[in-house]
């Protein structure tokens, strides 16, 4: 009886350890940054080009994030979770699938992922801002670079 109990205990411990390790593996996989093979731009260049009207800069974060850190000057706040995101983006760029669109998020992960998706959906000139608003391995980010931000007034695109 003791041998059977030990085998059962080992199986339970083994199963529990596998579940915990599997959970950590999934969590870590989700944290691996996506990469984007298309165009990339620094926050400084994104700000300058948005001000000049050379690109459409789109902040794809959430309203809560816009409230917390503001929206980069010249950026269009457009929550990437919207069901009609692509349609709203087309409205911003006047229906032009070839318009230069730079995407910025907090740290460059979501913008890279969405850049890939939009490129696959037929948008021809997507540009990633990998530093994001808060910084990443690509650079200090919009806020730490001291670039101007606008208070989010509760009105997204």
Question: Is 57 in contact with 89 (CB distance < 8 Å)?
Answer: no
Predicted structure pTM score: 0.77
**Which value, to the nearest 10 degrees, does the dihedral of the CA atoms of residues 83, 87, 88, 94 take?**
170
Q: Enumerate the domain spans of the chain.
A: 1-32, 39-150
111 Cβ neighbours under 8 A, 6+ residues apart: 36, 60, 103, 104, 105, 128, 129, 130, 132
Per-residue pLDDT of the chain (157 residues; tens, 9 = 90+): 566 666 777 766 666 656 655 555 444 444 444 566 679 999 999 999 999 999 999 999 999 999 999 999 999 999 999 999 999 999 999 999 999 999 999 999 999 999 999 999 999 999 999 999 999 999 999 999 999 999 998 876 6
Q: Which CATH architecture has domain 39-150?
A: 3-Layer(aba) Sandwich (3.40)
Element of type H or E holding 28: helix 2-31
**Beta strands 149-150; 71-72: pairing state:** antiparallel
Question: Is 77 in contact with 156 (CB distance < 8 Å)?
Answer: yes
């Amino acid at each position: 009886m003791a041998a059977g109990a030990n085998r059962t205990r080992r199986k339970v411990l083994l199963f529990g350890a596998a579940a915990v390790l599997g959970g950590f593996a999934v969590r870590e996989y989700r944290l691996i940054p996506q990469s984007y093979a298309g165009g990339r731009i620094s926050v400084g260049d994104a700000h300058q080009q948005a001000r000049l009207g050379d690109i459409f800069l789109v902040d794809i974060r959430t309203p809560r994030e816009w409230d917390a850190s503001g929206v980069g000057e010249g950026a269009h706040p457009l929550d990437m979770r919207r069901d009609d995101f692509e349609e709203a983006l087309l409205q911003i760029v006047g229906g032009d699938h070839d318009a230069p669109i730079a995407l910025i998020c907090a740290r460059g992960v979501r913008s890279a992922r969405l850049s890939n998706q939009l490129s696959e959906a037929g948008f021809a000139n997507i540009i990633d801002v990998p530093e994001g608003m808060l910084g990443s391995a690509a650079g200090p980010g919009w806020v730490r670079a001291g670039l101007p931000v606008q208070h989010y007034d509760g009105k997204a695109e």
